[in-house]
Amino acid sequence: MTHRQCPGRSTQGRARRPWWRLLAMGASLWLAVAPLRAQDLAADLGEQVITLPSTGWTEPALAVTVYRPPGDGPFPLVLINHGRASGNAHLQPRYRPVLAARAFVQRGYAVVVPMRQGFSRSGGEEITAGCNVASNGLMQARSVHRTLAWLATQPWADVSRNLVMGQSHGGLTTLAYGTAPHPGTRLLVNFAGGLRQNDCTAWQTGLISAIAGFGQTSRLPALWFYGDNDSYFSPHVFRGAHAGFVAAGGRAELVAYGPFGSDAHAMFGSRAGLPIWLPRVLAAMAEVDLPVAQLHALDEPADEAPPPPSGFAQVDELDRLPLRSERGRAGYAAWLRAEPPRAFAIHPSLGHWASAWGGERPLARALANCERVAKAPCRLYAVDEAVVWSPE
């Protein structure tokens, strides 16, 4: 993914990250609000960005990304809930889980990704509840209900056959939604769900208690995916939350898949994560009579061909990086912690840069994002584990 859309941190009850961290995770704040262009959309996935109209002053307009297979439908639905990046929620880029969307669209599903109230281009202000993480999740789930109510009016959408999933803050939203789901929802999938609130007293205990409380009324089958080296939620947290959720009456299978790369919190957005979660999710879908047969062949689009290693520097030699700004160097340091496939692009003289990792076509995305800001051609500095830059 172009940015790491995963942190489940609130705007209250925590210390904010430095503002440059958001840049490193999203290439630049400007990209979050830049006008959409045709080339920003995955045409082979039928990607559209739709604005759900406001239904009152407490229910603002929502920006929703839709991926659709060929034909008129009605299509069964997968609704995916996004995480929370640090900083101003309105500056968070639109969430584009293209790898997951491709897996489901080729099986005949329409994939729907709402930006919740206060996030990105959605209206209103982000709903928070201080240190009350259970209330936070329930209020976030309102945007899910609104999206499904709108989908019920669309002739291409079959709301009687849907599954809801989410990652990080979106996983917490999914679990909260499961306490009063739409009647057509058959399965919930939680990827590293939670909300870390560092300045709240005993926030881990509060999170465990909140998720366990959702189990009192949640009766849908659910899959939970957590890794041992998750930088946000330790095994103590997710195992305690799962035990409490099941003890309260909830139906949840915990898939504890061990370590993943440098941070298991990024598993869902990584191509390397697909073999971990997709077969388990497809098997669970079949158990609740959701179709899983592949109907369409959708090949992943080819990326730019990477230049050969140049020998200019080792990939972790920050002193050789031809960027002198604190922002740029911090962005590169953050990029170094990301899992391949990954790319870092620089303008040779203007000092502009952009990073991309995971998802589809990271080399092309890094170059395109850099060139949007620079208004001029950029060059790749590093790809995966090699520097490909040459001074000339």
List, for residues 173-208, the tens digit of each pLDDT value: 999 999 999 999 999 999 999 999 988 999 999 999
pLDDT of residue 278: 97
19-287 belongs to which CATH class?
Answer: alpha beta
Q: Characterise 56 by phi-psi region: left (phi > 0), alpha (psi -120 to 50), beta (else).
A: left
Percent share of the chain, pLDDT over 70: 89
Whole-angstrom Cα distance, residue 80 to residue 147? 11
Q: What is the pLDDT of residue 26?
A: 33
Total Cβ atoms within 10 A of residue 43: 9
The strand pairing partners of 263, in sequence order, are none
- The three-state secondary structure class of 189 is strand
Of 137, 162, 8, give the one whose Cα is nearest residue 75: 162
Residue 11 has pLDDT above 70, yes or no: no
The pLDDT score that the predictor gives to residue 139 is 94
CA-to-CA separations, 12 to 8, 15, 16, 120, 385, in angstroms, rounded: 12, 8, 9, 18, 37
Average pLDDT rounded to a whole number, residues 135-155:
96
Domain boundary assignment for the chain: 19-287, 318-387
Considering only residues 86 and 248, tell me which one the structure prediction assigns the higher pLDDT: 248
For residue 239, the SS3 value is helix
**For residue 25, what pLDDT band results from cuts at 50, 70 and 90?**
very low
State if pTM tops 0.85.
no
**Rounded CA separation 283/277 (Å):** 10
In DSSP terms, 306 is beta-bridged to none
